[in-house]
């Protein structure tokens, strides 16, 4: 799936710069497969590489380079996600309904709240820097050994969607990382004999994370069902608290302008952009709960979550191809391939590298 996501980007953008997109895609596919075979066959046997401190140092170098790029290099292309966030806040501070946005602001409120400090300093490009730093942190926390950290880090750095997100100042990758962070909090704090205050705190964190993109609610539902499948009362209570926080964040905008909220609010915009039938999210939700029931660990949730997010976007792509043709959907602008970014963090963290000598990552 990670290979296809990268292949999709290669095919789409090579068609802009070369008359041979199929050849470019073939070369990329062969190179990607060779890389994966090398990783699988040889792993990371050099002890000089398998050192947590060196990997941490490498992460800081990567973040420094990313900081320099997002500070000095202008946004690439005409993708309107960062400008739409800026316009959302400009309208808000002007007393105008922020979702009535010429650049189609489709996120739920929390991503705008998170971006406010960056908007005030004029650096919305740092949102992906924040998401990358948080992902590095989670990569270390969720990995069992330094070999696994190394492979997962490499998979991130060979993911074209990651560089695309940075170049166009998008926040889709960061949306998924926020869900992963909420899962991290649950894995750390919701163990045996936890306090009610801790339970409430983690539920609130999930509620905020849910207030990003509706598609990510599938992963939240999956994880919550996995976490509390043997505790129905806590499952219900935790779910209700997430919903209450989610509604609390939306309520001011519902009360502000009900008609505009229905017409140009996040639900209608996300539904219109996805192009999927109204019944499909319910099917995906049921599948997500079943996957949560079958999951035996957070790793399973990452894998199933990545698969379901990937599948939902591919279904949307297939519908767009059927409606508008292959050329318009895959190469043109009818389908936004950036939505493939949602699944990438989950798929990367689902990759496990079996090694004989397991050095602890923590």
pLDDT tens digits for 316-327?
Answer: 888 888 888 877
Distance CA 290, CA 304 (A): 10
Q: Percent of the chain beyond pLDDT 70?
A: 91
Distance CA 7, CA 310 (A): 14
pLDDT computed for residue 50 by the predictor: 64
Residue 60: pLDDT over 80: yes
Torsional class of 104: left (φ above 0), alpha (ψ -120 to 50), beta (otherwise):
left
At 39, is the pLDDT very low, low, confident or very high (cuts 50, 70, 90)?
Answer: low
pLDDT computed for residue 359 by the predictor: 43
Average pLDDT over residues 195-204: 94
Listed range (16-20, 59-63, 90-94, 288-292) with the worst mean pLDDT: 16-20
pLDDT tens digits for 264-283?
Answer: 888 888 877 666 777 888 99
Give the phi and the psi of residue 350 in degrees, each rounded to 5. Answer: -85, -10
Judge contact between 72 and 52, C-beta under 8 A. no
pLDDT computed for residue 98 by the predictor: 94
The H or E element spanning position 236 is helix 232-256
Listed range (35-44, 177-186, 328-337, 344-353) with the worst mean pLDDT: 35-44
Average pLDDT over residues 202-213: 95
pLDDT tens digits for 156-174?
Answer: 988 888 988 898 888 899 9
Beta-carbon count within 10 A of 353 CB: 19
Secondary structure (3-state) at 272: helix
Distance CA 180, CA 346 (A): 8
Torsional class of 6: left (φ above 0), alpha (ψ -120 to 50), beta (otherwise):
alpha
Judge contact between 72 and 114, C-beta under 8 A. no
pLDDT computed for residue 64 by the predictor: 97
Average pLDDT over residues 245-261: 94
Residue 80: pLDDT over 70: no
Q: Specify the higher pLDDT residue, 16 or 28.
A: 28
Distance CA 342, CA 202 (A): 22
Residue 79: pLDDT over 70: no
Residue 333: pLDDT over 80: no
At 361, is the pLDDT very low, low, confident or very high (cuts 50, 70, 90)?
Answer: low
Q: Specify the higher pLDDT residue, 241 or 50.
A: 241
Residue 46: pLDDT over 60: no
Q: Specify the higher pLDDT residue, 30 or 88.
A: 88
At 358, is the pLDDT very low, low, confident or very high (cuts 50, 70, 90)?
Answer: very low
Residue 360: pLDDT over 70: no
């Amino acid at each position: 799936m990670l290979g296809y996501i990268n292949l999709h980007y290669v095919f789409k953008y090579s068609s802009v710069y070369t008359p041979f997109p199929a050849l470019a895609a073939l070369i990329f596919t062969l190179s990607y497969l060779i890389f994966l075979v090398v990783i699988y066959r040889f792993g990371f046997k050099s002890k000089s590489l398998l050192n947590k401190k060196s990997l941490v140092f490498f992460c800081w170098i990567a973040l420094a380079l990313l900081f320099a790029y997002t500070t000095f290099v202008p946004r690439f292309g005409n993708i309107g996600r960062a400008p739409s966030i800026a316009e959302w806040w400009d309208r808000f501070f002007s007393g105008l309904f922020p979702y009535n946005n010429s650049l189609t602001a489709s996120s739920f409120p929390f991503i705008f709240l998170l971006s406010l400090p960056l908007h005030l300093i004029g650096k919305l490009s740092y949102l992906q820097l924040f998401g990358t730093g948080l992902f590095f942190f989670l990569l270390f926390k969720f990995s069992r050994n330094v070999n696994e950290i190394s492979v997962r880090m490499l998979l991130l750095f060979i993911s074209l969607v990651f560089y695309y997100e940075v170049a166009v100042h998008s926040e889709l990758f960061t949306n998924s990382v926020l869900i992963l962070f909420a899962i991290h909090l649950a894995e750390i704090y919701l163990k045996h004999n936890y306090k009610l205050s801790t339970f409430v705190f983690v539920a609130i964190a999930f509620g905020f994370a849910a207030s990003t993109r509706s598609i990510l609610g599938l992963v939240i539902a999956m994880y919550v069902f996995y976490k509390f499948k043997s505790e129905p009362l806590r499952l219900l209570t935790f779910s209700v608290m997430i919903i209450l926080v989610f509604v609390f964040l939306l309520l001011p905008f519902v009360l502000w302008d009900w008609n505009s909220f229905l017409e140009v609010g996040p639900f209608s915009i996300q539904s219109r952009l996805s192009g999927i039938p109204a019944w499909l999210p319910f099917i995906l939700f049921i599948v997500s709960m079943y996957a949560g029931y079958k999951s035996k660990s957070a790793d399973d949730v990452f894998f199933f979550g990545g698969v379901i997010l990937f599948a939902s976007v591919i279904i949307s792509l297939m519908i767009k191809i059927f409606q508008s043709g292959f050329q318009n959907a895959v190469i043109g602008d009818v389908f936004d391939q950036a939505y493939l970014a949602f699944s990438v963090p989950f798929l990367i963290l689902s990759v496990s590298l079996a090694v004989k000598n397991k050095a602890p990552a923590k």
